[in-house]
Structure 1
């Protein structure tokens, strides 16, 4: 059976479930979809990819909160420099094994900015989205393997 078709089916079903979960638990639906995106885009798969995605995305939330709280304390021109320094740190941290997925870091930061710095809500939404992304891809791969027997 075609793996892409099976992933598309499981993604469709679980996306509908996410819409209901996000509404029911007052989570941010778009942030959850960003979490799914982080997992799907991660070069690693399986649990290792989930952990790499989680650590990188979580660090992005952390860096965004640094910018949100430190930036306004500085004069405007220095605020730009702080943004540059933090962006540098967001990239260089990829030397650390579990923070090596730079796009995940930037997605976590962008979600935090878009969520007006409500890091707890953004983090919960991203986390559920990461777990759903893991479930979407891996259940689709499992179904493809199962029906290919």
Structure 2
């Protein structure tokens, strides 16, 4: 059986639940999906949760700083300069392990700008999305183990079986 069936089921179920709950509560549905994707892209598990979410949140802060700059500085190209400096910083911060997932920082900034500069709603949705990523991975792993037929699992451990698992 394909190893991604369990995670696929858990992601599908949780995505449906999240969509309904977020709409009913007025939360930003799509932003959570960004953090959810970053969780997996950053490697999943504790590492993916920590590094994906930390980078996402740093990106929100960079977006906020760019927005702040545009309110205090008034010259042609201020937004371009702010975005350029923030992009540089998002890359340079990767030298520090907790913020090393560069795509997550860019995703966090994009989410902040995409929510029309809604700082706390963006942060809340990113945190929820990272949690959903972790939950879907854990539930998916358990579902996968339930879906594996006992005889197939036993056959994989049989020294006479042609395919061995690590």
CA contact (8 A) 1:60 1:108 kept: yes
Per-residue CA deviation, residues 77-106 of structure 1 (Å, 9 max, x unaligned), is 343222211110011000011000001100
* Unaligned segments of structure 1, at least 5 residues: none
Partners of 1:143 and 1:2 in 2: how far apart?
12
Q: Return the offset for 1:145.
A: 2.8
Aligned to 1:104: 104
Q: Return the offset for 1:2.
A: 2.6
Partners of 2:123 and 2:78 in 1: how far apart?
28
Aligned to 1:50: 49
Partners of 2:96 and 2:27 in 1: how far apart?
30
Question: Does the alignment pair 1:16 with 2:16?
Answer: yes
Question: Does the alignment pair 1:41 with 2:41?
Answer: yes
Q: Return the offset for 1:138.
A: 2.5
| Matched positions, count | 148
Partners of 1:41 and 1:141 in 2: how far apart?
17
Q: Return the offset for 1:34.
A: 1.1
Moved over 6 A (4+): none
Higher relative contact order (CA 8 A, sep 6+): 1
Higher helix share: 1
Within 5 A, what are the aligned runs for 1:60-71? 60-71=59-70
* Unaligned segments of structure 2, at least 5 residues: 154-166
CA contact (8 A) 1:3 1:140 kept: no
Partners of 1:93 and 1:74 in 2: how far apart?
27
Larger-Rg structure: 2
Q: Return the offset for 1:119.
A: 0.8
TM-score, structure 1 as length reference: 0.91
Structure 1 stretch 9-18 or stretch 70-79: which is displaced more? 70-79
CA contact (8 A) 1:53 1:130 kept: yes
Q: Cα RMSD between the aligned structures? A: 1.5
